[in-house]
Structure 1
Amino acid sequence: MFNLKCIALLVLMLQLTTMSAQELTEFKWKKRILLLLDTKNDLHTRNLQLNKFDGRYNEMTERDLVLLVYNGMEVLDKDGMITNINPENVTYGDFQGILLIGKDGDVKLRKKYIVEANEIFDLIDQMPMRRSEMKNR
């Protein structure tokens, strides 16, 4: 009897974990995503890229920009913490670099590492939706 209760509890926990998994599409119309693709787990290059955004939190927040890292197995936040974003839908082969995904869900930039933060910010600032946001703020 004890084994059945343990199995039922495990099944319930797995269901709750699955239900709470977030999708990148949930950011649509809310946030822009800067997705660092590091499927080879090249920590040196990843850290060089992440360093380009150090101290730029206010500029990222102002542009509704979320920085995420996909390491081939999990989606991490900018601090390296595992998120609840479902990694199964992040498939870009062996591409190592940056994807900028607009609020509309379209890829706005796909570029190999290393990309300067100002290049990303300038590109965002040229987008019609961003111009409208700046005008309304």
Structure 2
Amino acid sequence: MFNLRCIVLLLLMLQLNTMTSQDFREFKWKKRILLLIDTKNDLNTRNLQLSKFNARYNEMKERDLVLFVYNGKEVLDRDGMLTNINPDNLTYGEFQGIILIGKDGGVKFRKKYLVEANEVFDLIDQMPMRRAEMKNR
């Protein structure tokens, strides 16, 4: 009887964990993701890069663009708060820079720090899906 309780409890815990953690696939077809990779914990560069995009928040919102930071262990939101996004599938080695993930889930852009916001916005604005969005708005 004890073993059955342990198994049931373990299964409930696993189910709860999968219900509370999310991954980037949940954004597919809804949002574009700008992922800042900072596995070396270079706060000066990270903060400078963040400021380039945070200063243009309305333009990011208009493009359905959400920003996250991956510090090698956890995924943080644009304000530095811990998210419930599971980082287990994020493996970028020594890369320090940004990655743009399109609404289709594909990597559209990858570049080392520092990147100007206009470079990303111009790229997004040339995408067929974005052109359709602009036409329909």
2:110 and 2:60 map into 1 onto residues whose CA distance is 18
> Which residue type is aligned with residue 101 of structure 1?
I
Unpaired runs of 5+ residues, structure 1, are 1-7
> Which residue type is aligned with residue 40 of structure 2?
K
Secondary structure of 2:88 counterpart: helix
TM-superposed deviation, 1:9: 7.6
2:69 is aligned to 69
Once the two structures are superposed, what CA deviation does each residue of 1:17-69 show, in whole Å capped at 9, x if it has no partner?
A: 33211111111110000000001111111001001013211101100000000
1:11 and 1:44 map into 2 onto residues whose CA distance is 43
> Which residue type is aligned with residue 43 of structure 2?
L
> Which residue type is aligned with residue 136 of structure 1?
N
Count of residue pairs the alignment pairs up: 133
2:90 and 2:73 map into 1 onto residues whose CA distance is 9
Please, what TM-score do these two structures have when normalized by structure 2?
Answer: 0.88
Q: CA RMSD in A?
A: 2.0
Secondary structure of 2:53 counterpart: coil
1:29 is aligned to 29
TM-superposed deviation, 1:113: 0.1
Please, what TM-score do these two structures have when normalized by structure 1?
Answer: 0.88
> Which residue type is aligned with residue 82 of structure 2?
I
Point out the more displaced range, 124-133 or 13-22: 13-22
2:118 is aligned to 118
Asked if structure 1 preserves the Cα contact closer than 8 Å seen for 2:54 and 2:78, the reply is: no
1:4 is aligned to none
> Which residue type is aligned with residue 26 of structure 2?
E
TM-superposed deviation, 1:131: 0.2
